[in-house]
Amino acid sequence: MTSMDTEGFQEARDLLASADVVSVLSGAGVSAESGVPTFRGEEGLWKSYQPEELATPQAFRRDPRLVWEWYDWRRGKIRACKPNPGHEALARFALGSRTVRIVTQNVDGLHEEAARKASGGNDPSPGLPLELHGSIFRVKCTSCTYKVPHRDPISADSLETLPKCPVCGSLLRPDVVWFGESLDAEILSEAFRVAQGSQVCLVVGTSALVHPAASVPLATRDSGGRIIEVNPTETPLSPLARVSLRGASGEVLPPLLEGLD
Ligand code: BV8
Ligand code: ZN
């Protein structure tokens, strides 16, 4: 029985149809069907590495070459990936008549790519996500305020070939939020404000283990709204969800959001 056959599916559709304002919290699971490895799954990124080895400021200080080698490998994998039907359904929904805001933990840029495609040359901004954890395709200086989009391959062969700041000469790093680093305060408070003001928070493809991102849906619930979860497995948010649809986002989201844009 697929999750579309359950009465929970119809209840989720009814909740979304009657909501004027909807927030979405997405995680690596939304990009899994595009071929982007998740963090903690069977084929997850962390399987080959430990988070504390690589996605931390300490690791970068200790061995910037290794950290850049990992990010360059991930960037190459992501560059080869395209938005999947789950991204596309969310983009259409966000560009539709409701007030919808996508808040993502992902750094892969696939929500933005889907929004630009779905907008068909019109204003894509309603479909552009709040990126809680930054972007793997942006670099910033480790010393000054220099920060730019950057998609090309990075040579991590040696310290000399690592990218340097054209302004002050210091090492450039990926503009992502590492463990132990604070999220951008403005982006985070905007995410909580969006969730607090929504009648439904649609939580898709996240293990809900990383904070403060995983607490964003609680703001919807605390202000009387409902959480709807789409995830193949149980997560710490499942017990708090009004409906939990067990399935892949690329399969569940298109029928779930059909006609609601
Ligand atoms: C902070 C960017 C204040 C980098 C990421 C000790 C010391 C310091 C901090 C902590 C500590 N203990 C706890 C903390 C807090 C820590 C934290 O939460 N740790 C967790 C692991 C316990 N948080 C932080 O450090 C945050 N900052 O707290 O600042 C502070 C400051 C100083 C000291 C203390 C506190 C910063 C967190 C941000 C880390 N950066 N990414 C990069 O990408 O390289 S997090 C990383 O995990 C990604 O962004 C990812 O999005 C995120 C969450 O993972 P998920 O997206 O949920 O992915 P995951 O693989 O886990 O799950 C996938 C899900 O999808 C699964 O449920 C699976 O079933 C499902 N799925 C699979 N296929 C599909 C699917 N779903 C749908 N469809 C499918 N097809
Ligand atoms: Zn600089």
Mean pLDDT (the chain) is: 94
Active site residues: 133
* Ligand (nearest to CA of 169): 2
| Residue 105 structure tokens | 């933990």
| Fold adopted by 38-80+134-176 | SIR2/SIRT2 'Small Domain' (3.30.1600)
Residue 5 burial (C-beta neighbours within 10 Å; 0-12, 13-18, 19+): exposed
Tell me what the mean pLDDT of segment 254-261 comes to. Answer: 96
If one looks up domain 1-36+84-132+183-261 in CATH, what number appears?
Answer: 3.40.50.1220
Distance CA 96, CA 31 (A): 22
Tell me what the mean pLDDT of segment 5-17 comes to. Answer: 90
Q: What is the pTM of this model?
A: 0.95
What is the whole-number distance in angstroms between the Cα of residue 142 and the centre of ligand 2? 7
Q: Which of 202, 197, 199, 194 is nearest to 253 (CA)?
A: 202
Residue nearest to atom 67 of ligand 1 (CA): 207
Whether the CB of 45 sits within 6 Å of ligand 1? no
| Residue extents of the structural domains in the chain | 1-36+84-132+183-261, 38-80+134-176
Look at residue 80 in the predicted model and tell me its pLDDT: 96
Has residue 2 got a pLDDT over 70? no
Residues 6+ apart with CB under 8 A from 17: 260
pLDDT over 90 percentage in the chain = 89
Render pLDDT for 162-210 as a digit per residue (tens, 0 to 9): 999 999 999 999 999 999 999 999 999 999 999 999 999 999 999 999 9
What is the whole-number distance in angstroms between the Cα of residue 134 and the centre of ligand 2? 18
Whether the CB of 29 sits within 6 Å of ligand 1? yes
